[in-house]
């Protein structure tokens, strides 16, 4: 990987080679500090250019191979991950009072979430390191994405999920042939047990807050946004936040492009959580260290009371000059309805939390009505049909009678 200089600890700044088995900083105590992958931008520009990349016929994250920490000849799964559509839905823009709103629908990935971007990198790195099994803990989406990528790569997966994980995501895991461990406890309990098991059995660790390569997959959503906007950087990018890895990846993607000289400015980043579980929003708004919170929200994919990548997430928002906001579960359900009704995009609760937060920030004047904004929908609504029904209610039920139909349709169509 001539394009990779090494790994740097975000806590102490120590730099180490990007070697197999090195994920956390060896100088930061027993737990180790979280690392960042550092690139040789001169080498990246030697390998490719904006003009060359724009001509690429590889409509997946691998069109950005010089920006990724994998060998050029490494085996890859056949799944098409990335290059999700970037829409400009006029109806949603009008509903929110915005003239320049875009929606990046990452629910179009193979297992229907942004997490596929990270998991495909995980299985490639696992095979590079000759690991026969990959494992992770997850509230749902990272789990199903890992199981799908592992199945496509021909390796085994062991997934730990909290008991509240939606059945749609559990079904995906089992269909993909994963060994599924349903932990009868919180996400924190699930993460802890997975960490103990991974150490005991020597499985490849897909947990994005531990493995620095996973953020590199997630950052490709930012590379796509920049390219799809013809390298004209938006004023804001807004998305939901759980562990903090995805928002950190978005910021890193834009910074990599900036450092390589491919864009001339950086966007502001806005992170959104549910009021039922918002440890990072509270820490940001109150300018204090984060503290654990209860996991009490319908947005299961971001119901993380003890975030594992808080520093990268908070750094991303602060460095960008952005902000954070928490929204109620009722606002999230409303965003599901509004996004679907005005744009034809079906997002799960965590997937539309960014859109719910955008509405609040526009109403408060934090984000201007004419600013160019990209809202990332991180997961498809079919992952959580139960909450989708809660958002919209039941269908109109009638007997097979036109007379009854006319009565029940009165005032509705």
- Nearest 5°: CA angle at 393, between 387 and 396? 145
Residue reference for tokens 């938006």 = 234
Residue 22 in marked binding region: no
How is residue 149 written in tokens? 């990528």
Residue 3 in marked binding region: no
Residues 6+ apart with CB under 8 A from 341: 91
Find, among 219, 205, 375, 397, the residue nearest to 312 by Cα: 219
- What angle, 0 to 180 degrees and rounded to 10, lies between the N-to-C axes of helices 220-228 and 245-259? 50
Strand partners, 104: 86, 376
Residue reference for tokens 């590079």 = 128
13 phi-psi bin (left φ>0, alpha ψ -120 to 50, beta other)? left
Dist. CA 135–CA 196, nearest whole Å = 11
How is residue 34 written in tokens? 């979280």
The answer to whether the beta carbons of residues 214 and 245 sit under 8 Å apart is: yes
Write out the binding residues for pyridoxal 5'-phosphate. Answer: 141, 378
Write out the binding residues. Answer: 141, 378
């Amino acid at each position: 990987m001539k394009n990779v200089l090494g790994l740097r600890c975000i806590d102490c700044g120590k730099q180490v080679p990007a070697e197999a088995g090195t994920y956390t900083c060896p100088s930061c105590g027993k737990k180790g500090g979280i690392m960042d992958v550092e690139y040789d931008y001169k080498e990246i520009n030697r390998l490719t250019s904006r003009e060359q990349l724009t001509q690429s016929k590889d409509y997946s994250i691998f069109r950005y191979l010089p920006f990724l920490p994998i060998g050029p000849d490494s085996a890859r799964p056949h799944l098409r991950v990335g290059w999700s559509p970037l829409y400009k839905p006029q109806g949603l823009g009008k509903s929110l009072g915005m003239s320049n709103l875009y929606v990046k629908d990452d629910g179009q990935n193979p297992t229907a979430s942004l997490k596929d971007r990270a998991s495909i990198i995980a299985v490639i790195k696992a095979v590079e390191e000759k690991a026969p099994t990959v494992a992770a803990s997850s509230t749902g989406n990272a789990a199903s994405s890992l199981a799908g990528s592992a199945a496509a790569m021909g390796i085994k997966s062991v997934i730990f999920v909290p008991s509240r994980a939606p059945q749609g995501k559990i079904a995906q895991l089992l269909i993909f042939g994963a060994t599924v461990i349903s932990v009868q406890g919180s996400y924190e309990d699930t993460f802890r047990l997975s960490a103990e098991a991974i150490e005991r059995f020597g499985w490849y660790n897909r947990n994005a807050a531990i493995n620095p390569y996973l953020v590199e997959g997630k950052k490709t959503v930012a590379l796509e946004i920049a390219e799809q906007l013809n390298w004209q950087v938006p004023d804001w990018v807004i998305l939901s936040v759980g562990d903090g890895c995805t928002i950190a990846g978005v910021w890193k993607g834009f910074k990599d492009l900036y450092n390589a000289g491919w864009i001339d400015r950086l966007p502001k980043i806005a992170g959104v959580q549910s009021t039922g579980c918002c440890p990072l929003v509270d820490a940001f708004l109150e300018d204090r260290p984060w503290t654990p919170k209860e996991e009490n929200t319908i947005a299961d994919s971001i119901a993380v009371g003890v975030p594992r990548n808080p520093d990268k997430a908070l750094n991303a928002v602060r460095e960008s000059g952005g902000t954070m906001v928490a929204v109620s579960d009722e606002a999230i359900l409303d965003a599901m309805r509004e996004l679907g009704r005005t744009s034809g995009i079906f997002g799960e609760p965590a997937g539309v939390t960014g859109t719910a937060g955008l509405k609040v920030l526009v109403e408060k004047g934090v984000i201007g009505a004419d600013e160019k904004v990209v809202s990332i929908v991180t997961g498809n609504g079919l992952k959580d049909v139960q909450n989708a029904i809660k958002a919209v209610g039941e269908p109109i039920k009638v007997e097979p009678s036109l007379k009854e139909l006319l009565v029940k349709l009165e005032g509705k169509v």
